[in-house]
Structure formats: structure tokens, C-alpha cells
């Protein structure tokens, strides 16, 4: 049975990978993100391949806009089967005592509060219908802090706790909850973290073949299509030469 899949942060990286993979799977996809022009390009690309796509341009930090657009969903798009809470970012790599308060707030508002907002807007309908799947994109960074990761690691630790808590809350329903925890993934993540310093971002991937957004999307699609009695609760996905958030062997 084809599903309706809502993906936040769908304009690049893991979110874009999920958009393409779920569309290839025959699912209807709702794409959300801040960049309306990029969303329109992706919508056009997927539609030309025969996918059914709906784009919603909003920032998950904007509670009122998100509530408005979700309330205005066309009837045929309302019964969301899979929510992929992917929107997230890291900013800076300074010691905690030298961090930027505004950057901390942006990470917390996006990675934690944005996830909670979308959960609040989508999951009650799943509970009412008696079906659904929430896939939260966490990180290996949520398992243990690494140098300079401080607040970002804390937000991903929160994603793990919130995912585990939600799984407990819906354990009496058929709804499934998954935490995907990627390691080193080559996306524009590092460009954002380093404020557009492409050279610095590229060095992060030197000497190792990192994961791609498509690699993580493959796991998301697998989890969403597992038999109804199978709940893929948590998956840690690392590049072959990465052992943990802080141990990477470069060759």
C-alpha cells in the first residue's frame, strides 16, 4: 500500500535522499523546507518522474506558519502515514564556553523544538487512525559528545530521548517509532556548520568515504516498509572506517 510521507528539511542531504527514495517506492511525498525555490525544483523533478508531490515552504521554527499550512492540507494529503523529522543543523565547533548564544538557540529551536512541533501536528492524526510511523533523524553525536560538539550533541541526545519517550507513549497503538543515527554523511551540513567555508568543510571528508543522504534514506525506506509487527527502533549508520562520533580512520 502506497503511503503519504511528510519529510522536513527536504531540500538537501538526507531529506532530499528520503524524498527521492520514498517517491521511487511509489509513495506520495510532502516536502517541507525553508527554500521555496529549491522545493519547487525538487517537486518538478520528482513529478516529471511520475511521483505525487506536495511542497510546503516553512521553517520548523515558525510555529504559526507550520500550523497554518498543515491545517490547510488538501483532503487527499491529510492522512500522513510516515513523518520523517529530518530538519536539523549544526553551527560552530567552538568550546562550549566560547559558543555563540544565537547559534545555540537556532540549533535548539530547529533540532528539538521543530521536531516536537511536527510531532504535535502530525502524530495525533496517526493515533486517531490507528496507523503511522515516525522516523526521527538523530545522530551518532547523540550517543557521546565530541570536541566542539557540545550543544549540537546535546540536541541529538534530546532527539534520542524524545524518540524513546514517544515510542513508549504509543506502545499501546500500532504506531512505530524509529531513530536513525547517522555518522559522517557528506551533505551541506558542514558548509552550514562552518558558515560557508567550503575548504574547511571538505577537510572533514578527507581520507574516508563518507555516507550519502541516499544511504540514510535507504534505511528509512526499509524501516517504513518492514512488516507491521516489526519496529526498527534505532539504527546507528556509520561509514566503514568510522567507529564512533570521534574515531575516524583516514587513509
What amino acid positions are annotated as catalytic residues?
Answer: 152
Secondary structure tally for the chain: helices H, strands E:
9, 7
Cα dist. 114→33, 97, 155, 223 in Å? Answer: 12, 25, 11, 22
Take residue 47 and report the three cell numbers written for it: 513529478
Query: Residue 135 pairs with which residues in a beta bridge?
Result: 84, 178
Concatenating the DSSP letter of every residue in 120-137 gives HHHHHHHHHHT--EEEEE
107 Cβ contact partners less than 8 Å away, ≥ 6 residues apart: 89, 90, 91, 151, 152, 155
On whether the CB atoms of residues 135 and 180 are closer than 8 A, the answer is yes
Take residue 13 and report the three cell numbers written for it: 542531504
Amino acid at each position: 500500500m502506497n503511503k503519504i510521507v511528510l519529510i522536513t528539511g527536504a531540500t538537501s542531504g538526507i531529506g532530499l535522499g528520503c524524498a527521492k527514495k520514498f517517491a521511487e517506492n511509489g509513495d506520495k511525498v510532502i516536502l517541507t523546507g525553508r527554500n521555496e525555490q529549491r522545493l519547487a525544483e525538487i517537486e518538478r523533478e520528482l513529478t516529471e518522474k511520475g511521483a505525487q508531490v506536495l511542497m510546503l515552504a516553512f521553517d520548523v521554527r515558525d510555529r504559526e506558519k507550520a500550523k497554518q499550512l498543515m491545517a490547510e492540507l488538501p483532503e487527499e494529503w491529510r492522512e500522513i502515514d510516515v513523518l520523517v523529522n529530518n530538519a536539523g543543523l549544526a553551527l560552530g565547533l567552538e568550546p562550549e564556553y566560547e559558543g555563540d548564544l544565537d547559534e545555540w538557540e537556532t540549533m535548539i529551536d530547529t533540532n528539538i523544538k521543530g521536531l516536537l512541533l511536527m510531532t504535535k501536528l502530525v502524530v495525533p492524526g496517526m493515533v486517531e487512525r490507528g496507523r503511522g510511523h515516525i522516523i526521527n533523524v538523530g545522530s551518532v553525536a547523540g550517543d557521546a559528545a565530541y570536541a566542539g560538539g557540545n550543544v549540537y550533541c546535546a540536541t541529538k541526545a534530546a532527539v534520542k530521548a524524545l524518540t524513546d519517550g514517544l515510542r513508549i507513549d504509543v506502545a499501546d497503538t500500532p504506531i512505530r517509532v524509529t531513530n536513525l543515527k547517522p555518522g559522517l554523511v557528506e551533505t551541506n551540513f558542514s558548509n552550514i556548520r562552518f558558515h560557508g567555508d567550503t575548504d574547511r568543510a571538505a577537510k572533514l571528508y578527507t581520507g574516508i568515504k563518507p555516507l550519502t543522504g541516499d544511504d540514510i534514506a535507504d534505511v528509512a525506506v526499509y524501516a517504513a516498509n518492514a512488516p507491521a509487527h516489526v519496529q526498527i527502533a534505532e539504527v546507528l549508520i556509520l561509514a566503514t572506517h568510522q567507529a564512533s562520533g570521534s574515531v575516524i580512520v583516514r587513509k
